[in-house]
Amino acid sequence: MNIFSKYLYSLFCITALMACKNNSKNEVTPVATDTSTAKIIPQTDPSVAKSAGFFLDDWAPKTFSAPVYADTVKPVSNATVTINVDYSNVVAKVPKYLFGNNTNPYMSQIVTEPVLLNNIKTLSPNILRFPGGNISSVFFWDGNIPADAPANLYDSNGNTVAAEYWSGTNTAGWTLSLDNYYNTLLQTNSTGIITINYSYARYGTSAHPDQVAAHLAANWVRYDKGRTKYWEIGNESGGPWQAGWKIDLTQNKDGQPQIITGALYGKHFKVFADSMRKAAAEVNAQIKIGAQLVGTDPTNSWNAVDKTWNSGLFASAGDYADFYIVHDYFTGSDNETAATILNSPVTESKAIMDWMKTTTTQGGVPLKPIALTEWNLFATGAKQMVSYVAGIHAVEVLGELLKNQFGMASRWDLVNGWGNGDDMGMFNAGDEPDGVSKWNPRPAFYYMYYFQKYFGDRMVSSTVQTSNDVLSYASSFNSGAAGLVIVNKGSATQTVGVNIKNFAAGSRYYYYTFTGGKDNGEFSRKVYINGNGPTGAAGGPANFLTLGARSAAISGGIKISAPPSSVVFLIADGRK
């Protein structure tokens, strides 16, 4: 090579090197994976976690169909946050029962309310709990209030008050009968989970109230005839707010203590389970029966009963339960900020599962499937529960429950009461001010609907670089697409670049960006999807089912802008 040739060659190398450096500095690493030039590691499903167990028995694969879309220019700024996804690294299959919700006996007959029924169908919760909440402790499914049910019960302050029992055969328009609960399950393609009245075993005045209450529960199983697979023995029975936590010893005939204990509950649990399993066998039904656990370490609990609840239950019932039940409302009941609310799902979800593993080990029993049969946020005073922040919170809870491999979850609840905005209901019961229509969905509805639709059938691993404000939950579809939920819980806009390895990319990615409105400070009652919002004072866009996605070519890399307090639901085309 002559001197001139060497000069040209050196100039070419320097120019090429500078181009490479400039590209690496200014562009997001391309996500596209070409199977002809790179070896893709295939997915391998891990073994089913004990904490998910049989709730995955009817898992089904999901396919993705591209939505209507509008071409969108990618952000020109450099990525401030990078999300790395490994499509081959499967964390867990996605239980369909994670998207559940709670009915209650004061929300109407549902099937007589077409708007409400259609909203529930659209939400597609997959599992609906009944009768749910504290009412289950005074609920008699067959409509017969027994003669040995006392006229008075203790309230949460330890005072005797007139008992208010509920009937499962009441067909008044304001309540929900058992038969119409079954009808709702059919019409919304949902599975049921039923909470039987355990507390009757405590406050019943017969000679053997545990046996009488267990027989009543077994008769419900017979009446059910296999329609319901999942059953809970009682609701929050260790709490002073629950009927039966404290009983009148002058009326009790079988020597029970005045205040409930976990050991007593465990003893009674076996009586209930034996009766109900015998009834299920008689009607050729397969059922699973859950026992209540205290969900987090109770060492510092204000309620003395909590401190020995789990250990007492395990000592008297062993591993008699098929699954374990926990409840969690993630925040305190004071006027908490959005930042506090949105920081709670990560720490609290992990704390629950860590404690489930610890408490079962301490109790000498195996870990069983975990069902979070009530959850929501509990912050009050600024309409937090009906705001779009509750929707972001719901997204985080779903993602964290998946990461920690819960088997089932049901949010509290579908319909409640306005209470000046301290309303956990997903739909307006008709008492919300500002002209909001009855059964209008709250923001959380839209977040949970989109999560389920645009999250695949498997969670895969993802990590976030350079930000503590951004969370990511990644998934795969059996049809080959990749799904990603991106949460920006911070106060600054982030430009997010996404890298997906071991992924056979298609041509485009699609996304929907969820933001709040300008009303009510940081707790807007509105949610906007790709800039489309409600026409009224609360809720989301009426045309949310047909809204077009934003879209861009995968070639050159996936990059989006995540506004403050936003959620982005993103799907990338993939090839099988």
Cβ neighbour number for residue 60 with a 10 Å cutoff: 9
Q: Look at residue 12 and tell me whether its pLDDT is greater than 80.
A: no
The closest of 119, 231, 135 to 175, measured between CA atoms, is: 135
Q: What is the mean pLDDT of the chain?
A: 94
Taking the C-alpha atoms of residue 453 and residue 446, their distance in angstroms, rounded to an integer, is 11
In three-state form (DSSP H/G/I as H, E/B as E, the rest C), the secondary structure along 7-28 is HHHHHHHHHHHHHHHHHHHHCC
Burial of 470 (0-12, 13-18, 19+ CB in 10 A): buried
Q: Quick one: pLDDT band at residue 431, thresholds 50, 70, 90? A: very high
Mean pLDDT of 319-331: 98
| Residue type, position 96, single letter | K
What are 570's strand-pairing partners?
Answer: 484, 511
What are 549's strand-pairing partners?
Answer: 69
Q: Look at residue 208 and tell me whether its pLDDT is greater than 90.
A: yes
Taking the C-alpha atoms of residue 51 and residue 405, their distance in angstroms, rounded to an integer, is 6
Express as a percent the part of the chain with pLDDT over 70: 94
Task: Give me the sign of the Cα torsion angle 219, 223, 229, 233.
Answer: negative
Q: Look at residue 25 and tell me whether its pLDDT is greater than 80.
A: no
Q: Quick one: pLDDT band at residue 132, thresholds 50, 70, 90? A: confident
Mean pLDDT of 464-483: 97
Q: Look at residue 38 and tell me whether its pLDDT is greater than 80.
A: no
Mean pLDDT of 106-126: 98
Taking the C-alpha atoms of residue 188 and residue 502, their distance in angstroms, rounded to an integer, is 37
- Phi-psi domain of 339 (left: phi exceeds 0; alpha: psi -120 through 50; beta: other): alpha
- Which residue stretches of 249-381 are H helix? 262-282, 304-307, 309-317, 338-362
- Which residue stretches of 486-533 are H helix? none
Q: Quick one: pLDDT band at residue 24, thresholds 50, 70, 90? A: very low
Whether a cis peptide bond, with omega within 30° of 0, leads into 224 is no
Beta strand 288-292 with 505-516: parallel, antiparallel or unpaired? unpaired
Taking the C-alpha atoms of residue 120 and residue 188, their distance in angstroms, rounded to an integer, is 7
Taking the C-alpha atoms of residue 483 and residue 475, their distance in angstroms, rounded to an integer, is 5
Whose tokens are 């982005």? That residue is 568
pLDDT of residue 351: 98
Q: Quick one: pLDDT band at residue 31, thresholds 50, 70, 90? A: very low
pLDDT of residue 161: 98
Token pair, residue 285, equals: 């039904």
Whether residue 117 contacts residue 427, with contact meaning beta carbons closer than 8 Å, is answered with: no
Taking the C-alpha atoms of residue 309 and residue 200, their distance in angstroms, rounded to an integer, is 19
The three-point CA angle 454-460-462 to 5° equals 95
Homologous superfamily of domain range 31-48+55-93+459-574 = Golgi alpha-mannosidase II (2.60.40.1180)
Cβ neighbour number for residue 258 with a 10 Å cutoff: 12
- Name the DSSP class of 74: P
Burial of 173 (0-12, 13-18, 19+ CB in 10 A): exposed
The closest of 438, 445, 437 to 536, measured between CA atoms, is: 437
Domain boundaries of the chain, sorted by first residue: 31-48+55-93+459-574
- Name the DSSP class of 47: P
User: Which residues have CB under 8 Å from 362's CB, separation 6+?
Assistant: 310, 311
Instruction: Please tell me the pTM assigned to this model.
Output: 0.93
Mean pLDDT of 343-354: 98
pLDDT of residue 10: 42
Cβ neighbour number for residue 132 with a 10 Å cutoff: 27
pLDDT of residue 34: 40
Provide the CA 228 distance to its chain's centre, in angstroms.
20
pLDDT of residue 576: 83
